[in-house]
Amino acid sequence: MQKKLEEVSAGYYARAILDIGKAEKAVDLLETEFKTLKEAVISDLDLKKYLTDPSVEETHKINMALKVLGENASVSIRTVFVMLIMVDIVEDIEEIYNIFVGFVSDFKKQIYVEVVSVIELDDMTISKIKEDVDRASGLDVRIRNTVDPDIIGGLVLKIGEKIIDLSLKNKIEDIRAKLKSIELGGEEFGAEN
């Protein structure tokens, strides 16, 4: 069984991947392709098992990797995938990807804004939110969409420690609190009988 990659090593490989993207002047493309690759590997258990199986020859794994990437994949992501296979760290692709994304943000002097919504937002909506937050903050933010059906509707924006709650759940709770504080005919509205 492969030992979990230590965070220092994961950071080393994540930094190397960023360097590959910078050398190719394709950090954004690499980030997009790396995310797609990571999701493919972690969602396809047969693929992950094949790529991490010590009895499968490295050349066979690399050939499989190139098939998975397809003909349109960039040189950068091909290099990254081959490196992950040759160093035998495919098992840790998610951890490496997460550290890589942090390095990309630092590289671009960007901050993350988490947008919590009831459903996954489409690219056009995320672009519009990014544009509005960029304009309001003066920063070049990176949007991460998280789905939470408990908010009922609307959005919750998390920017660092600041939370902007525009959710329907929050509005309902505000209305409920206001209605409970209104007195009607000497009785509190919403008081339990």
pLDDT at 191: 53
Q: pLDDT digits over 131-190, tens only?
A: 988 888 777 788 889 999 888 888 898 887 788 888 888 888 888 888 887 755 455 555
pLDDT at 193: 47
Mean pLDDT in residue range 120-130: 92
Return d(Cα 26, Cα 124) in angstroms, integer: 22
Return d(Cα 181, Cα 174) in angstroms, integer: 11
Checking if the pLDDT of 128 tops 50, the result is yes
Query: In 10 A of CB 159, how many CB atoms?
Result: 17
Q: Are 96 and 5 in contact, with CB atoms under 8 Å apart?
A: yes
Report phi then psi at 158, rounded to 5.
Answer: -120, 115
Give the pLDDT band of residue 125 (cuts 50, 70, 90): very high
7-107 domain in CATH 3.40.1350? Answer: no
pLDDT at 3: 46
pLDDT at 88: 92
In the chain, domain spans:
7-107, 110-181
pLDDT at 32: 93
- Give the β-pairing of 142-147 and 112-117: parallel
Report phi then psi at 109, rounded to 5.
Answer: 55, 45
Handedness of CA 58, 64, 69, 75 (dihedral sign): positive
Checking if the pLDDT of 8 tops 70, the result is no
Q: Are 137 and 167 in contact, with CB atoms under 8 Å apart?
A: no
pLDDT at 5: 58
List, in sequence order, every residue forming a beta bridge with 143; answer none if it has no partner: 113
pLDDT at 168: 86
pLDDT at 171: 85
Which ranges of 88-192 would DSSP assign to H, the alpha helix? 93-108, 123-137, 168-181
pLDDT at 30: 94
Q: pLDDT digits over 41-97, tens only?
A: 999 999 999 999 999 999 999 999 999 999 999 999 999 999 999 999 999 999 999
